[in-house]
Amino acid sequence: MDLQSADGVRRNSTLICAPIMAESVDHMLVQMKRAKELGADLAEVRVDFLKNFSPRNDLEALIKQCPLPTLITYRPKWEGGQYDGDENKRQKALQLAMELGADFIDIELKVAHEFYNFIRGKKPEKVKIIVSSHNYECTPSIEEIGDLVARIQATGADIVKVATTALDITDNARMFHIIVNLQVPMIGLVMGERGLMSRVLAAKYGAFLTFGSIEAGVVSAPGQPTVKDLLELYNLRQIEADTKVHGVIGNPIGHSKSPHLYNAAFKSVGFNGIYLPLLVDSVANYISTYSSPDFAGYSYTIPHKEDGLKCCDEVDPIAKEIGAISCMIRRPDDGKLKGYNVDYLGAIAAIEEALGASNGAPASVSPLAGKLFVVMGAGGAGKALAYGAYEKGARVVVANRTYGKAKELASKVGGQAIALAELKDFHPEEGMILANTTSVGMKPRIEDTPLAKEALKHYALVFDTIYTPKLTTLLREAQEAGSTIVYGTEMFINQAFVQFERFTGLPAPKQLIRDVLARNT
């Protein structure tokens, strides 16, 4: 198979396989053409999806007319597929696919010995048999996966396939361990959102192939990215064994635009790194599992900024004061983890800029000096904003759902604490500044707002840390109430510049980062 990519810089041999799932041969042929246009290397023809499947006619048309090499899969219901008929007929169809020129066929471990007996060694030389096992419940231990792989190898498989389900992001590490140490070609994937890294880093660890869907949401297994995302968002062709892994640690994480920014920026400067959305339940478990020097740096978002700090070997003094990090770097010399907080730099700079435009204060004095600055939320971002405002001479008020947490933060910045429920009636003066650091109003619940519109008329400026959507309900209603608004994207952009430089040691391609964010919000 020709492994050169279009620009000649393919750095790994991992194939991208696009599942073809349609009810008619004609529709499958259309999907195959689309898969080739998108850049897939291989088409997995899921004949169990065909209505009124006529093996000889349909397989001949699909194999001969496919513009890509073909992997024929006829998945039974007992292994997560659609076929619910006679097993003998199914195996006969797979044998026919080999005779008609398929490049690969997939047979399940449960019936592999039976299938090899059935074909009695009549396997065309060019055909490779993938023997597969799918676990839709969990990811077993390394020992159990190892035993499973040995059983698959014992059938005479040309290629081993093991797909498991991620209950935690650390499950991927067990699959990587097996792939790296196996001497035969292996497809090793972990399904579900927590398993996304297994699909992208398949190229780092040398998996035979990874699957990418033709369109978003139309997947043959949970957590499957698109061919387009594998190639354009994650730059899969450029991933190498020594590619440095970065990512954003959060929960939820699907909304994050960070992978779009950093992957495009890494590529633009020729930095050998990948940046992934990391759906993490326990930061401590994640950090202790992925302790290799190749796992080089992270951004932190809700709700893990404080837990991230606890996992650092060293913490920047400002982050220590805030009590939360937004960025973690693994030092290349000794592998120690250092935490920083760069959130407040971007946010405060954006707020000052917006205020300065109307304030006319001397440059040496922050336009925030003396202002009443209300922070909604007392988590990592709330602490960062409260600390940043305090540093600039503002009088800080912290409003939080849990009053105790508000009081604890307010005491650190010489401020006042109130319960979030009281904020709608709180207006000791006009021209206040409001900063929302809660997740209220974040996609998908974009109609929600943390403060009633009526209360917004007392604020000169309203800032929202949320950037998906860019114009939150809070910002839209604040604008209607006459306030100046500052988008969360401004904080996001400014801290992205700083983090990029920490990750790479190179100057940030600022205009490119702005352009990418504009296209993705």
Strand order in the sheet with 186-191: 186-191, 159-165, 128-134, 104-108, 70-73, 42-46, 15-20, 209-211
Tell how strand 209-211 and strand 186-191 pair up: unpaired
Taking the C-alpha atoms of residue 368 and residue 227, their distance in angstroms, rounded to an integer, is 47
List the structure tokens of 424: 């709608």
For the chain, what is the total number of helices (H) and then of strands (E)? 19, 20
Active-site annotation holds for 257: no
Catalytically annotated residue among 48, 103, 343, 464: 343
Taking alpha carbons only, the member of 15, 42, 40 closest to residue 208 is 15
Query: Which residues does 336 contact at the CB level (< 8 Å), separation at least 6?
Result: 313, 314, 330
Give CA–CA dist 470/503, Å, rounded: 26
DSSP 170: T
Structure tokens, 348? 């405060």
Q: In 270-341, where does DSSP find H-type helix? A: 283-289, 305-310, 317-322
* DSSP letter, residue 267: H
Name the catalytic one among 305, 371, 383, 458: 305
Residue appearing with tokens 């296209």: 519
Q: Is 161 among the residues known to form the active site?
A: yes
- Given 128, 161, 246, 371, which residue is catalytic? 161
Q: Please, which residues have CB within 8 angstroms of residue 54's CB and are 6 or more apart in sequence? A: none
Among positive and negative, which fits the CA dihedral 54, 59, 60, 66? positive
Residue 64 is a catalytic residue: no
What stretches of 444-486 adopt beta strand conformation (E)?
459-464, 484-486
What are the φ and ψ backbone dihedral angles of 213, each rounded to 5 degrees? -80, 155
* CB of 74 closer than 8 Å to CB of 100: no
Residue 336 annotated in active site: no
**Angle subtended by helix axes 109-119 and 87-99, to nearest 10:** 60
- Taking the CA atoms of residue 227, residue 198, residue 203 and residue 207 in that order, the dihedral angle to the nearest 10 degrees is -110
Of 128, 134, 338, 458, which one is the catalytic site residue?
134
- Check if the beta carbon of residue 459 is closer than 8 Å to that of residue 432: yes
Q: Active-site residue numbers?
A: 134, 161, 305, 343
